Amino acid sequence: MSLIASLRALHAVDSQVRGIRTRFENAEGDLARHQKQLDALAVRRAEHEKQMRQLQAAVANMELEDKAFQERIAALRAELNGSANPRQYNALRDELKLIEGKRDELAERILAQGENQERLRAEMSAADAPIADRTRLRDLAKAALDEARAELGGRLAELEAQRERAAGLLRPEFREAFDEAAEANDGEALAEVQVISVRHREFSCGGCNAELPLDRYSKVAAQRDDLVTCITCGRILYMDVIPERPGAKKTKAEAKEAAIDPDGLG
């Protein structure tokens, strides 16, 4: 088998391997992206829950403080009702007013914290739908990845074994050149030479469309076991059909055939 034939055989199986791997990578990327977004939402939800616990603890402490105020107010009122000493009565009344004022301030703080709790509950409720949506997308992405692995995992192993066998038929320097060209061109390691005009010596790379020097075309056209690459993209060049040079002498058999059928109609 010629060098180009061996390279093309390797390219055929390598393309399939890369196609399956790309499908796996895309599915893994989708899963990772959705999981990352879901994790961010979960972190935000955890922060909300922590804030809610802190608010609830603060309100509970304030309610205990309010209960203590209530008990003290009740005690002061009882003492006021039973006090016969004007001086003691005035002192008890002043303390009662002070504690009632503090309790009023505490009530405002409890109300404000209650409003904060309601606001936080609304934010948490609004976050439920995005979390549910992202969870659904994450689960779909995981199912797609599992399906791809189940469907193509065995096939990939077979193709990788075939690729190793095909690569093993090439010399190390040719395998390295193939791998470099494939990595640089998204798996398209080979490209056919495009003949624009033999007469004007115009040729291009079928991969990147860059103009090819005459010496590159000549080496490929010679069809020797030489590895010729595009000077622009690095793809390995080949030709299935070598065009006839203008003015080239025909063999006797070709000349005889042309004389019998000058129009080439058969």
Q: Which of 229, 225, 239 is nearest to 6 (CA)?
A: 225
Kindly report, residue by residue over 16-55, the tens digit of the pLDDT: 999 999 999 999 999 999 999 999 999 999 999 999 999 9
Domain boundaries, the chain: 3-168, 171-266
First-to-last alpha carbon distance for the chain, in angstroms, is: 33
Look over the chain and give the mean of its residue pLDDT values, rounded to a whole number. Answer: 91
Mean pLDDT over residues 83-106, rounded?
94
The torsion angles phi and psi of 232, rounded to 5 degrees, stand at -95, -55
Contacts of 115 (CB under 8 A, 6+ apart): none
Q: Are 144 and 24 in contact (CB under 8 A)?
A: no
Q: Which of 167, 217, 186 is nearest to 7 (CA)?
A: 167
Kindly report, residue by residue over 157-175, the tens digit of the pLDDT: 999 999 999 999 999 999 9
Please determine, looking at this structure, whether the domain spanning 3-168 carries the CATH number 1.10.287.1490. Answer: yes
Which structure tokens are listed for 82? 């039973």
- Asked whether residue 249 carries a pLDDT value surpassing 80, the answer given is no
What is the rounded distance in angstroms from the CA atom of residue 66 to the CA atom of residue 64? 5
Q: Are 96 and 76 in contact (CB under 8 A)?
A: yes
**86-168 vs 3-82: helix axis angle to the nearest 10?**
170
Kindly report, residue by residue over 211-238, the tens digit of the pLDDT: 999 999 999 999 888 899 999 999 999 9
Question: Beta-carbon neighbour count of residue 76 at 10 Å?
Answer: 21
The torsion angles phi and psi of 233, rounded to 5 degrees, stand at -105, -15
Q: Are 191 and 233 in contact (CB under 8 A)?
A: yes
The pLDDT assigned to 263 comes to 45
